[in-house]
């Protein structure tokens, strides 16, 4: 099978592509505009595969999308391209309307035209999988409430409103035109290659540099945390086994308050970041990146002392929680990582990949692809 993945240079998209190339016999076409959040460094491990191709294309560009479909003849589309940062949507909602709504519409129309011209066998097998968020549901009132696939939409931010709009478009194209679509709504993802503006990587990298760890309000906002590799496996399961016109919620079964997440990260950094001494108390010789990491971070223990409470953002939802029983019951998927195992892997990955982080923070990952000097 050949799968066209939009937004494949982003956090979740790159995880999906790595999963497909490393764990299946399928081929992938990565369509990504390469905005600030698109990072080809996240795909270095599979970039040379003969089952991977990259096209720098904006999903709002109808002509270029049509060319990509003609050239690669995909058997399925996994649509992940989106503006996704809530704070950015509050400061500048226009980009979210353009990419998440207009871009999804454009992709749907190009896909519909392509799909309608397929032969009967390929047409029947084709799938359009739209990847969305639990934020379209708004927030939950009761402590035991969960988002189900039947929960009414009540988005709170420009970001979640734009994603809700795209969900409705996808379902309308299925109902009106018969386009074989599936929708998934996921909880908060975390893991390797996450752009540092998001909560978990921001906390890790700020702590390593001794910077304040800004926590909104009291930090009592509750999220269900899903390890990104578990999500990638779920998405592949849905696109290959899911039932047309169905929605599947994907969650990690890990409800945590934001302040609990931050304190867990701090405790792991206290444990994992060395202080330049071995078990016997003797100073050990370290070089290069490891030496830099130790010299910068050992001074900041306990890292929780860096936590700073800041004014809450407008319209901040208090609690999200996913009921992911449908995807487990019908498709046999469930997360393999607990929050404890996933967050440890995540913190360790960032400690082991500070060069990737540096290239994101100083912008060199973008300058190099634009052909400009650092």
Whether the Cβ atoms of residue 38 and residue 7 lie closer than 8 Å to each other: yes
Whether the Cβ atoms of residue 196 and residue 360 lie closer than 8 Å to each other: yes
Choice among 134, 167, 229, 255 that is catalytic = 134
Q: Report the distance separating Cα 344 and Cα 272, nearest Å.
A: 9
Whether the Cβ atoms of residue 131 and residue 168 lie closer than 8 Å to each other: no
Give the CA dihedral 373, 365, 296, 270, nearest 10 degrees. Answer: 180
Tell me, yes or no, if 224 is annotated catalytic: no
Choice among 32, 58, 135, 230 that is catalytic = 135
With 0.75 as the threshold, say if the pTM is over it: yes
Tokens coding 110: 């190009």
Q: Report the distance separating Cα 272 and Cα 294, nearest Å.
A: 10
Tell me, yes or no, if 323 is annotated catalytic: no
Report the alpha-carbon angle 79-251-335, nearest 5.
Answer: 100
Choice among 19, 105, 114, 159 that is catalytic = 159
In the block, which residue shows the tokens 């390929």?
122
Q: Report the distance separating Cα 249 and Cα 186, nearest Å.
A: 6
Give me the pLDDT at residue 173, please: 98
Neighbouring CB atoms inside 10 A of 64's CB total: 16
Give me the pLDDT at residue 279, please: 29
Per-residue pLDDT of the chain (374 residues; tens, 9 = 90+): 999 999 999 999 999 999 999 999 999 999 999 998 899 999 999 999 999 999 999 999 999 999 999 999 999 999 999 998 788 899 999 999 999 999 999 999 999 999 999 999 999 999 999 999 999 999 887 778 999 999 999 999 999 999 999 999 999 999 999 999 999 999 999 999 998 888 999 999 999 999 999 999 999 999 999 999 999 999 999 999 999 999 999 999 899 999 999 999 999 999 999 654 332 333 334 345 555 555 554 567 899 999 999 998 887 878 889 999 999 999 999 999 999 999 999 999 999 999 999 999 888 888 766 554 33
Give me the pLDDT at residue 198, please: 86
Tell me, yes or no, if 350 is annotated catalytic: no
- Domains in the chain: boundaries: 2-191+224-253+318-335
Which top CATH class is 2-191+224-253+318-335?
alpha beta
């Amino acid at each position: 099978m050949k799968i066209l993945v939009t937004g494949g240079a982003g956090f979740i998209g790159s995880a999906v592509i790595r999963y497909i190339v490393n764990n299946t016999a399928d081929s992938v076409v990565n369509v990504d505009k390469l905005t600030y959040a698109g990072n080809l460094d996240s795909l270095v491990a599979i970039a040379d595969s003969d089952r991977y191709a990259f096209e720098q294309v904006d999903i709002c560009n109808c002509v270029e999308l049509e060319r990509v479909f003609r050239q690669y003849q995909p058997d399925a589309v996994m649509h992940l391209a989106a503006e996704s940062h809530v704070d950015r949507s509050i400061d500048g909602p226009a980009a979210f309307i353009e990419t998440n709504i207009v871009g999804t519409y454009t992709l749907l129309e190009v896909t519909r035209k392509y799909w309608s011209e397929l032969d009967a066998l390929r047409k029947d097998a084709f799938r359009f999988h739209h990847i969305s968020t639990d934020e379209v549901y708004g927030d939950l009132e009761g402590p035991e409430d969960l988002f189900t696939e039947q929960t009414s939409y009540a988005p709170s931010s420009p970001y979640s409103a734009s994603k809700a709009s795209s969900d409705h478009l996808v379902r309308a194209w299925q109902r009106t035109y018969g386009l074989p679509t599936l929708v998934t709504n996921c909880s908060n993802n975390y893991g390797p290659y996450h752009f540092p503006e998001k909560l978990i990587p921001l906390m890790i990298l700020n702590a390593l540099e001794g910077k304040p760890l800004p926590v909104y309000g009291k930090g009592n906002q509750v999220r269900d945390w899903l390890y990104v590799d578990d999500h990638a496996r779920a998405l592949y399961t849905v696109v290959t086994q899911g039932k047309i016109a169905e929605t599947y919620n994907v969650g990690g079964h890990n409800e945590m308050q934001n302040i609990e997440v931050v304190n867990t990260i701090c405790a792991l950094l206290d444990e994992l970041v060395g202080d330049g001494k071995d078990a016997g108390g003797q100073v050990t010789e370290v070089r290069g990146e490891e030496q830099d990491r130790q010299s910068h971070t050992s001074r900041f223990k306990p890292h929780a002392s860096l936590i700073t409470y800041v004014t809450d953002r407008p319209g901040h939802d208090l609690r999200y929680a996913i009921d992911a029983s449908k995807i487990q019951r019908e498709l046999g998927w469930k997360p393999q990582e607990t929050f404890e195992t996933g967050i440890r892997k995540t913190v360790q990955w960032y400690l082991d990949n500070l060069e990737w982080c540096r290239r994101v923070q100083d912008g060199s990952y973008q300058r190099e692809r634009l052909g400009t000097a650092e």
